[in-house]
Structure 1
Amino acid sequence: MKADFVWKCLPVLCLIKSVVTSWESWWTYEGISGPDFWGRLNPKWSLCSRGRRQSPIDINPKLLLFDPNLSPLHVYGDYISGNLQNSGRGIIFKVSSNRTVIISGGPLSYQYTLKEMILHYGRENDRGSEHTISGHQFPAEIQLYAFNSQLYANWTTAQSEANGVLAIAVLIAHTQQSIGGNAQLKHITHTLKNITAKGDNQWISSLSIRELLPTLKYYITYEGSLTQPSCHETVTWIVLNKPIYMTGHQFHQLRTTMHSDGHGDNFRPLQPINHRVMRTSINFQDQTNEVSIDFKQSHHKKASMCTMERSMMYRGKG
């Protein structure tokens, strides 16, 4: 009798296991499984629709608060290896544990170990980044995710716990100079031809983290969330005040080489700020600071509106 009960339950247990393991494949960036519905797909993702500290956000320079206590970031380690994966929605670089990169300093009270990088982009150059500056969207954004390795044993535990995650956002602009693209991004886009189908992955060695971080001194920081399900609100975000560049050929590779769901536009829409404080290490009163960025190479129609342009300086409240 007991044996019969066990055998009858096994199919149910298998079904439950199948459902749990397939959650990751249920969400997309478009349609009825897109961002507007993430919070309904899985009860554990309810923060995606109900959270009050969600990411990404628009960074309005007029709302930035200069914090003189924000020191430069510290990066221990540089070259890493890992698997570049086609997730079906975009590109994820999973960092190997053989070489670790530790990040501290800035607004951080703990040390964080680099876990993965995610590249967001759009179908056209007028969109793609998740974070925006004064409503201006860049064609791409690379996000470096690290977990609090002083408090938590691994990424799985840390992502749902307080002070668990650090995310560094680097905006990516378009350059028409064939040799003007970031060398590490070239390393990534050159590998795309080997991961054209969902689930494909390719090992990459000696990728320089430092070359992906154009500045460690000037940035904006705020408390937010993961930009993908489960949208846990455990993330300290740092948005660097300087872009890196990709060429038109690299963007073409990114948008056409991989057979991904949606074929681009893999970014989450902006989320309400809800009275959160956005602090910055940029001193608006000190005109000698390198607080502006040259976007002459980006050739966006709305580039002149971007407050990070060299001809315009960040302005705080008077």
Structure 2
Amino acid sequence: MAFHLAVYVTGLVLLLASPLTGQSQEIPFGYSGVKGPDKWGSLNPHYSTCSAGKQQSPVNIANDDVVSNSKLGSLDMDYNSANATLINNGFNIGMLFGNDIGELIADEEIYYLKQMHWHTPSEHTINGIRYPVELHLVHVADDGKVLMVAILYQYGNPDPLIEEIKSYLDQLAKEKCSADEEIHIPVESVKSNNIERDTSKYYRYIGSLTIPPCTEDVTWYILGKVVEISKGQIDAMKALMDSEYKNNARPIQPLNGRKIELYEDGH
């Protein structure tokens, strides 16, 4: 039995580990028209960073402009299999984890995996190429710092993670969700090894959340290996979304002088 929970967007901001949790009410946003990305900054005073910020995400990664940094080292992503909650929050599909899913170590600091969610198409681009899907793994350190790992997907074989949770996605499809509501479905023991990840090559930069309130000082790691997902899996996920959110990728933001670092194992 699905557990249906209606909440204002404040709850969605909480899900994304934003420092703006605790606001009494937030304004729904969209991806076109009067609530589209170019209007986010004026929808609510708490969203002003979306238009005024100088370190916004996503960005285009141009290989000719990245700076190689062999000192960064491989990301240590130590995840366990654990229970989760599958969520349709109106503007994307994601999974929320408890405290036992695992951690990532970067820059000698420990970040804990809190949730993951999908964007269709990808938000980040590489050399101007936009991929069909981008998965965000949201990590938070004890001091509140946010670290995002982005995994890009191209058409190909089915993604093992989505294959594993297919029955739960089918349950989710039976529920209706508007942009200011959430639907929660418990998921038993998500196998962490089904999260395809290769940290031998990645890009790193400082950016922001890609939804309002567009909070900055978020560390981004975009994995260099593009993994595969089937078109059927993408179509099934997009079918869960309202028409305004089937394409839920924020447009590319200017770098404003920021440097994107590249790490490649063995280089």
Instruction: Give the TM-score taking structure 1 as reference length.
Output: 0.71
Matches within 5 A, 1:1-318: 20-23=23-26, 26-97=28-99, 99-105=100-106, 108-121=107-120, 128-149=121-142, 151=143, 158=144, 164-175=145-156, 180-196=157-173, 197-198=176-177, 199-256=182-239, 258-282=240-264
Change (3 A) 1:263 1:234: closer
What amino acid is the match of 1:61? N
Please report how far the alpha carbon of residue 263 of structure 1 lies from its aligned counterpart in structure 2 after TM superposition.
Answer: 4.6
- Which deviations, in whole Å up to 9, do the C-alpha atoms of 1:97-122 show, x marking residues without a partner? 3x1311003xx24110111111001x
2:262 counterpart letter in structure 1: T
Higher strand proportion (structure 1 or 2): 2
Deviates more, 1:225-234 or 1:52-61: 225-234
Query: How many Å separate the matches in 1 of 2:191 and 2:76?
Result: 15
Per-residue Cα deviation, 1:52-90 (whole angstroms, up to 9, x for no partner): 000000000001111110111112232132111111112
2:64 is paired with a residue of what secondary structure? Answer: helix
**Is the 1:214–1:243 Cα contact (8 Å) retained in structure 2?**
no
Name structure 2 gaps, 5 residues minimum: 1-22
Contact in 2 for aligned 1:189/1:254 (Cα 8 Å)? no
The question of whether the paired residues in 2 share the 8 Å contact of 1:166 and 1:235 is answered with yes
User: Distance between the aligned counterparts of 1:189 and 1:246, measured in 2?
Assistant: 13
In 2, Cα distance between the equivalents of 1:189 and 1:141?
18
Q: Could you tell me which runs of 5 or more consecutive residues in structure 1 were left unpaired when the two chains were aligned.
A: 1-19, 122-127, 152-157, 159-163, 290-318
Rounded Cα–Cα distance in structure 2 between residues aligned with 1:21 and 1:260: 25
1:252, CA displacement in angstroms?
1.8
Tell me the CA shift for residue 193 of structure 1. Answer: 2.0
Query: Residue type of the partner of 1:276?
Result: R
Q: Secondary structure at the match of 1:192?
A: helix
Question: Aligned residue pairs: how many?
Answer: 240
Please, which moves more after superposition, 274-283 or 226-235?
274-283
The answer as to whether partners of 1:129 and 1:267 remain within 8 angstroms in 2 is yes
Query: 2:103 and 2:167 mapped to 1: Cα distance?
Result: 27
Does the 8 Å contact 1:28/1:261 carry over to 2? Answer: no
Q: Which secondary structure state, in structure 2, belongs to the residue aligned with residue 62 of structure 1?
A: coil
On the 8 A contact 2:55/2:217 being kept in 1, the answer is: no
Corresponding position of 2:13 = none
Local SS of the residue matching 2:109: coil
* Deviating more after overlay: 73-82 vs 109-118: 73-82
Asked if the contact 1:54–1:231 (Cα under 8 Å) also holds between the matched residues in 2, the reply is yes
Distance in 1 (CA, whole Å) between partners of 2:241 and 2:75 is: 37
In our comparison, the structure showing a higher alpha carbon Rg is: 1
Instruction: Quote the RMSD (CA, aligned, Å).
Output: 1.9
2:162 aligned counterpart, secondary structure:
helix
Shift of 1:190: 4.0
* Aligned-partner Cα distance in 2 for 1:81–1:172: 24
1:224-248 CA deviation, whole Å, 9 max, x = no partner? 0010111111211000011221112
Match of 2:4 in 1: none
Q: Does the residue aligned with 2:236 lie in a helix, a strand or coil?
A: helix
Q: Which amino acid aligns with 1:172?
A: Y
